[in-house]
């Protein structure tokens, strides 16, 4: 889940909504697994230029510290993630969001065949970035490949090249559908989102309708009057049922959410040359 | 889950069955909650007179150490429990099975209104036992009340008196249905089981049919030929579908499982005089 | 460690000083134990009327989340504690500071013979407060006794009565020196501190000299010019060597630190009547 | 600490000796750091051909599960390790001993400059072994380099080649003294030990005198009569003061401990050709 907008208390994002992320961690309706109990993480922008992250290997629904911090943390840009491991170890360094400098990254899905392709993918990472790898997941590797290909300059291009490489390496190892992903990444101001899978059947991803339009549609819903005009949510599953509130990101597309003008476009991997 | 019989490797009990306890911790079919991710514990008899316990607040399905130990631990009497907290903290001292001397105890269900009745129930515990209380759960308190009423001498009578007291104290605090429980407790040789709730709608509890009869019914099932003749399982949910294998413990009844002759009888709380 | 003064970033308190609390957790110079690796906790006042707490059973020096949060958390009143268990379990609910409503409490030392006196002390707690007990420590029990005796109205009197009761109960159980304590407790505005032990040999406790006087003494120390005029530290061990900076709280005394006028006075337990 | 000999209860190794490993984790006398609180691990041979490992990020002195398991686990070959991190994350996958197939490996010391050399060292690992890397430590990387160079066939040669490579890569990155190590590794029957550092000032390593000779020297020490004739300890610090009991492994040497005939020899890295 990614929030951007007026500074808001994290507990209003994590614990208040009807079908909140914490509920989803116990009973996902749309995810590949129904329980996301293999750790969680939050990332946010506050003091200083770089974001902070709080991650734990406990299930999110049990973590007392998460509740305490969520009640104290006010931020205009908030990432939250619950993890269902696809095979790599349940340890803090494998929890999302991942951070590099000013950037945060989170990924749902999997790089299939990663056990076999991991070495080739890791050696494709810029040697200057390599020492900062902390965990053992496919998701962090994909992040570092995107950084290698210029994420901080042109996110659309960099992710397209990273995905293209993963597909290329995957096929060389005989993997049928190497990439399954929804991704959100941010520099603290804009949030880029991606929905793509090699087989064209990606996990769900939604973004919220502009608050002004929602207020017109549902003048009786109090929370809409508390949220600022630039509020935008990107989620794997709608937080609450509200007709017109949630727009599915189309298959094979990418977008950027930012104050002012959002943008959605087609996404196509760029194979290595 | 309680196993008694020939010494067996714990991983054959925890990870091998089709609908194993580990599966059940993720997707319970009969429990009050579908996810039991608030810690787990195992207890067993091996070296020395007293049982050992291994407990953790991680979800059972994630715990690497549990897998390692289960592969090394061979025992004739094995208890295992996955927890879905009913409100008290997720901490090791609140995980089942609880131990006192040679005894182990585990409980599914709840003492309702425990937040209000806790003080009265704790002060009813034998002062000599009181210092050994380690956690904050209703389940451990029920165990210590049973110990106070003579669990080690006459388990049927002691549990009936403990339940009678809890109902009495609960009603004095205006609690409608104070007790909901299935309990298994053992001294390392016999295992006593209880199924009772004040409202007469207790959680499920099953015990396994004698292996010799199961072998006659299902001569084609290999595992039945590996299990010893005295094998007995007590479980909240059947471990695998096998016609004739699982017998439901009737509402408001108690029993004892031991080498030779098992016994089932009606269970009725004994109110304080 | 207790800080009060201008809002300050917690990392400036926890990680910056020369002999910081984190260093002390690894290499205490004055404590009864040299390593305080049995959990830690911080408490602070920020959003809302009640303080937040962040506690963990990992050693403070290892906790990545502590570093993240400390870099984001700005507060005018900050408590931090590293624990060396005197026998009770290492679990979150046993970590300091303890909280009740607007109040925080932390304790160094021990109620001796607590294993034996625990039941009598717990039953002396106000039944209305009893359900809020979360852990199993002597320190939390002492807090709840102080609350029972009116901590929120008159802290000096309430702690004197709580200590008097503990000594009385301890002696009835044949304990020679029942109380060893330094305590800090706060309602978010004032901080009360206590240094007392039955045997008259209490653990160390220091409070910092007024910043204006320290600036006169050490005009060359930059940090003194960054700290506000109302800054006050209460610590078990001086944070850095600075002549004139640290004043030992005398044996058997108590005090209150608050904006404006501090106060120190003799402390004497009030036995039960 | 490595034990080989008659099957023995792990708690007799971990908790009984005067200056046990658990004590050493709190107050090391000879180590580079005095506190080893950054996780621990044990490995042993029992059921099945492969060893089991139990590892945790809690300090060893606090881990209740370790005490429980140590009281149940009887083994003829036991490895135990307490960790003081040299910079990499405190997570289970970074705890020693590391396992591969039938082999265990533990390392005290550091590969200096590892942050910079990590990528070159990882790419030197046999691609077939690469996917089994689980953590991010220098120690596990050294293990996998040794496996790459034939550890399972000729441990002396493989470790010499691995160390030679690390020194070569380190120097290429301008690292003065790339290797500091004591290592113990075993296939379940023999234990190979190494003491080496580029600068010739390695951490301490001791092995125990034959039990029969110790019995002659100290007929009055009861424990010597309980230990079997083939008992051998390899430790970083002597477990108890006993004249004649502990022999320091010389600088730049290696050895093998096994039933029958031990062997000590000079150790010299073999640079890559």
- Report whether D139 contacts D83 (CB < 8 A): no
pLDDT of residue D19: 61
Q: Which residue of B has its CA nearest to A33?
A: B26
Does the pLDDT value for residue A29 go beyond 60? no
* Helices first, then strands: H and E counts in chain C: 8, 13
Burial class from Cβ neighbours inside 10 Å (0-12, 13-18, 19+) for residue A52 reads buried
Query: What does DSSP assign to residue C127?
Result: T
D48 to B64: CB separation less than 8 angstroms, yes or no: no
Regions in chain C scoring below 50 on pLDDT: none
Strand partners, B195: B182, B253
What is each CA distance from D50 to B71, D80, D89, D104, D128, in whole angstroms? 10, 16, 27, 9, 19
CA distances from residue C176 to A242, C113, C166, C170 in whole angstroms, order as listed: 67, 9, 12, 8
Measure CB to CB from residue A68 to each of C9, C54, C64 and give the nearest one.
Answer: C54
Could you tell me which of A62, A63, A73 has the C-alpha nearest to residue A12? A73
What lies within 8 Å, CB to CB, of A228 at 6+ separation is A5, A6, A211
Please give the mean pLDDT across all residues of chain B: 89
* Residue B17 scores a pLDDT above 70: no
Q: Which residues of A touch D119 (CB under 8 A)?
A: 123, 127, 130-131
Q: Cα separation of B11 and B15, whole Å?
A: 5
Residue A212: pLDDT band by 50, 70, 90 thresholds?
A: confident
pLDDT (tens place) for every residue of chain D, 273 residues total:
999 999 999 988 888 766 666 666 666 655 555 566 678 899 999 999 999 999 988 877 778 899 999 999 999 999 999 877 767 778 888 999 999 999 999 999 999 999 999 999 999 999 999 989 999 999 999 999 999 999 999 999 999 999 999 999 999 999 999 999 999 999 999 999 999 999 999 999 999 888 888 888 888 887 788 888 888 999 988 877 788 888 999 999 999 998 878 899 999 999 998
Residue to substitute from C131, C132, C173, interface B, most B β-carbons within 10 A: C131
Set of chain A residues whose Cβ sits within 8 Å of the Cβ of D92: 89, 91
What is the spatial distance between Cα B142 and Cα B167, in angstroms, rounded to a whole number? 11
pLDDT value, residue C142: 98
Q: Would you call A52 and C69 a contact, using CB atoms and an 8 Å cutoff?
A: yes
Nearest to A201 by CA among A269, A87, A109: A109
Nearest CB partner across the interface for D89, out of A116, A127, A134: A134
The predicted-structure confidence for B218-241, as pLDDT tens digits, reads as follows 888 877 888 888 889 999 888 777
| For D125, nearest residue in chain A (alpha carbons) | A119
Q: Sheet of C263-266: strands edge to edge?
A: C98-100, C103-111, C179-186, C191-197, C253-257, C263-266
Nearest to B131 among C92, C118, C135 (CB): C118
Contacts with A61 (C-beta within 8 Å, 6 or more apart), sequence order: A22, A25, A26, A37, B37
pLDDT level of residue B154 (50, 70, 90 thresholds): very high
Q: How many contacts, defined by CB atoms under 8 Å, are there between B and C?
A: 40
Count other Cβ atoms within 10 Å, centred on residue A156.
Answer: 17
C56 touches chain A (CB under 8 A): yes
Q: Where are any strands of DSSP class E within A188-258?
A: 191-197, 206-208, 232-235, 246-248, 253-257
User: What span, in angstroms and rounded, lies between the C-alpha atoms of C179 and B89?
Assistant: 28
Q: What is the pLDDT of residue C215?
A: 86
B residues 25-44 closer than 8 Å to A (CB): 26-27, 34-35, 37-38
Could you tell me if A221 lies within 8 Å of chain C, comparing CB atoms? Answer: no
Cα–Cα distance measured from residue B245 to residue B247, given in angstroms and rounded to the nearest whole number: 7
Inter-chain CB pairs, A–B, below 8 Å: 36
pLDDT of residue B148: 98
Secondary structure of chain B as H, E, C letters: CEEEEEEEEHHHHHCCCCCCHHHHHHCCCCCCCCCCCCCEEEEECCCCCCCEEEEECCCHHHCHHHHHHHCCCEEEEEEEEECCCCCCCCCHHHCCCEEECCEEEEEEEEECCHHHHHHHHHHCCCCCCHHHCCCCCHHHHHHHHHHHCCCCCCHHHHHHHHHHHHHHHHHHCCCCCCEEEEEEEECCCCEEEEEEECCCCCCCCEEECCHHHHHHHCCCCCHHHHCCCCCEEEECCCCCCCCCCEEECCCCEEEEECCCCCEEEECCCCCCC
Question: Measured between CB atoms, which of B47, B68, B74 is closest to D54?
Answer: B68
Percent of chain A with pLDDT over 70: 92
pLDDT of residue B268: 97
Work out the number of other CB atoms within 10 angstroms of the CB of residue D260: 6
pLDDT value at residue D259: 81
Helix orientation angle between A114-123 and A155-172, rounded to the nearest 10 degrees: 130
Beta strands C74-82 and C52-56 are unpaired
CB nearest A131 (choices: D89, D118, D133): D118
The CB density around residue A26, as the number of other CB atoms within 10 Å, is: 18
Q: Which of A4, A70, A18, A32 is CA-nearest to residue A182? A: A32
Give the closest of D48, D56, D72 to B46, CB-based. D72
This model of the complex carries an ipTM of 0.89
Q: How far apart are CA A63 and CA B85, in angstroms?
A: 13
Q: Which residues of B touch A57 (CB under 8 A)?
A: 58, 62
As given in the structure block, the two tokens for residue B188 are: 């390392």
Question: Which of D35, D58, D64 lies closest to C35 in CB terms?
Answer: D35
Q: B121 falls in which pLDDT band (50, 70, 90)? A: very high
pLDDT for the residue B218: 85
Q: What is the pLDDT of residue A124?
A: 97
Task: Assess whether pLDDT exceeds 90 at residue A121.
Answer: yes
Return the half-sphere exposure (C-beta side, CA atoms, 13 A cut-off) of residue C221.
Answer: 18
Average pLDDT value for chain A: 89
pLDDT at position D24: 65
User: What is the per-residue pLDDT for D26?
Assistant: 60
What angle (nearest 5°) sits at the alpha carbon of residue A128, between those of residues A123 and A131? 75
Residue at token pair 């717990």? C122
Distance from CA of D116 to the nearest CA of A (A): 6
Give the span between the Cα atoms of D191 and D185, in whole angstroms.
6
Interface contact A49, partner C, CB < 8 A: no
- pLDDT, tens digit, 9 for 90 and up, residues D211-240: 888 888 888 887 788 888 888 999 988 877
Would the CB atoms of D37 and C37 count as touching at under 8 Å? yes
Judge whether C106 and C96 are in contact, CB under 8 Å. yes
Cβ-defined contact of B9 to D47 (cutoff 8 Å): yes
pLDDT above 80 for B214: yes
Residue range A45-73: average pLDDT?
90
C241 touches chain A (CB under 8 A): no
Q: What is the pLDDT of residue A229?
A: 82
pLDDT of residue B230: 84
D92·A93 Cβ contact <8 A: no
Question: Distance between CA atoms of D146 and D158, rounded to whole angstroms?
Answer: 5
The C-alpha of C3 sits at a distance from chain D's nearest C-alpha, in angstroms, of: 28
Q: What structural domains and CATH numbers belong to chain A?
A: 2-266 (3.60.20.10)
For residue B27, list chain A residues with Cβ-Cβ distance below 8 A.
34-35
**Which pLDDT score is estimated for D241?**
77
- Give the pLDDT of residue D188: 96
Q: What is the pLDDT of residue A25?
A: 63
Give the C-alpha separation, B38 to B59, whole Å. Answer: 6
Q: What is the pLDDT of residues A70-116, one digit of tens each?
A: 999 999 999 999 877 767 778 888 999 999 999 999 999 999 999 99
Which of C28, C41, C167 shows the shortest CA–CA distance to C105?
C41
pLDDT in tens, A5-27: 999 999 888 887 666 666 666 66
- Averaged pLDDT, B9-27: 73
Span A50-73, average pLDDT: 90
């Amino acid at each position: 889940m990614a929030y951007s907008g007026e500074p808001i208390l994290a507990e209003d994002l994590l614990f208040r909504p009807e079908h909140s992320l914490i509920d989803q961690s116990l009973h996902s309706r749309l995810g590949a697994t129904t329980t996301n109990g293999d750790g969680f993480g939050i990332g946010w922008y506050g003091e200083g230029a770089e974001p902070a992250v709080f991650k734990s290997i406990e299930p999110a629904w049990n973590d007392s510290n998460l509740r305490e911090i969520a009640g104290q943390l006010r931020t205009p840009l908030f990432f939250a993630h619950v993890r269902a491991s696809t095979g790599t170890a349940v340890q803090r360094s494998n929890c999302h969001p991942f951070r590099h400098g000013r950037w945060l990254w989170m990924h749902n899905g999997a790089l299939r065949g990663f056990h076999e392709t991991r070495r080739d993918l890791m050696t494709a990472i810029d040697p200057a970035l390599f020492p900062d790898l902390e965990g053992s997941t496919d998701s962090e590797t994909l992040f570092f490949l995107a950084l290698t290909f210029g994420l901080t300059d042109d996110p659309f291009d960099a992710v397209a090249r990273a995905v293209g490489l993963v597909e290329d390496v995957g096929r060389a190892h005989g993997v049928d559908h190497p990439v399954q992903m929804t991704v959100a990444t941010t520099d603290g101001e804009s949030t880029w989102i991606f929905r793509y899978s090699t087989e064209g059947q990606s996990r769900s991803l939604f973004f919220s309708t502009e608050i002004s339009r929602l207020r017109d549609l549902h003048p009786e819903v109090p929370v809409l009057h508390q949220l600022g005009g630039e509020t935008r949510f990107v989620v794997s599953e709608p937080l609450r049922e509200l007709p017109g509130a949630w727009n599915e990101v189309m298959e094979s597309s990418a977008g950027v959410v930012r104050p002012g003008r959002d943008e959605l476009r087609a996404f196509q991997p760029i194979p290595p040359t």
